[in-house]
Structure 1
Amino acid sequence: MKTEQGLVIEVNENVARIKVGRHSECKNCGACPGNNGIIIEVENKIGAKIGQRVVFEVKETNFITSVFIVFVLPLIVLFIGVLLGEVIGNLLGLNVCFLQIAGGFIFVAVAIGGVKKFDNYIAKNHKSMPRITKIL
């Protein structure tokens, strides 16, 4: 498990929103907007209050699974769509290049829908949510 520190900016029942300073890996990636920090939701079973600095932990297995589903799986699905388009084009004697492109687009659209469903599932599943372990 990886631990980080942040500042509690909002509390709603057992969930807190924390502003976390960005480290060098985040700044180099540039996928998220803003340079100063990001805001994440964490499980707040220890009762942290607004304005307190806290330590929270993120399960790395959840992080690795999420990265695979969001970044790697769509690429694999794209490749499968292109191959399937080629096979169908060769079997039916149609334009192979067009069917490869169409297959790639269709399969990526399905993958994006799957990623969206995964995101909704993770948002509702508090087991995968980071959790506050200590108030500083």
Structure 2
Amino acid sequence: MKKESEGIVIETTEGFARVKASRHGDCKNCGACPGDNATVLDAKNPIGAKAGEHVILEMREQNMIRAAFVVYIMPIISIFLGVLVGTWIFNAVGYYEMAFKVVGGIVFFVISLVYIKVFDKATAKNDASKPVIKKVL
């Protein structure tokens, strides 16, 4: 499934455009991102939209769901797994159970943050994950 959003082209480069896009309804309700109701993103520009034009962007919903999972859910799961690993290590070693749980949770959380950074860079390089300008309004 694909979601559409409106935006204004700020600048263009070879096959791509930087677009100031209004957030869709789900984002407006979330409030997790700072700032106003617009975000600037890079989009494929197969139709040759020019700076200043109002356009319709199309984004794959699968990409948005995957990104939301990686950013919001994966760190929580990582903390939980870290606590479990800390408990397992405590059972093997036998000292300071709470310290092992806390350290395990922190270590796994930091690992998840590193993964988020790697995921962000990989997604930025992947053209298939970028929104596409479908038409000029």
TM tier relative to shorter chain: over 0.9
Secondary structure at the aligned position of 1:127 is classed as helix
Give me the whole-angstrom Cα distance separating, in 2, the residues matched to 1:14 and 1:72: 34
How far off is 1:106 after superposition? 0.5
* Count of aligned pairs between the two proteins: 136
Query: Match for residue 136 of structure 2?
Result: 135
Give me the whole-angstrom Cα distance separating, in 2, the residues matched to 1:82 and 1:63: 29
Which residue identity lines up with residue 132 of structure 2 in the other structure? R
Query: Match for residue 4 of structure 2?
Result: 3
Give me the whole-angstrom Cα distance separating, in 2, the residues matched to 1:53 and 1:83: 51
Which residue identity lines up with residue 56 of structure 2 in the other structure? V
Matched-pair identity in %: 43
Query: Match for residue 18 of structure 1?
Result: 19
CA contact (8 A) 2:28 2:37 kept: no
Query: Match for residue 95 of structure 1?
Result: 96
Deviates more, 1:105-114 or 1:36-45: 36-45
- 1:126 aligned onto 2:127: yes
Structure 1-normalised TM-score?
A: 0.93
Q: After the TM superposition, which residues 95-114 of structure 1 pair with which residues of structure 2 at under 5 Å, given as runs? A: 95-114=96-115
Structure 2-normalised TM-score?
A: 0.92
Secondary structure at the aligned position of 2:129 is classed as coil
Give me the whole-angstrom Cα distance separating, in 2, the residues matched to 1:33 and 1:111: 22
Secondary structure at the aligned position of 1:19 is classed as strand
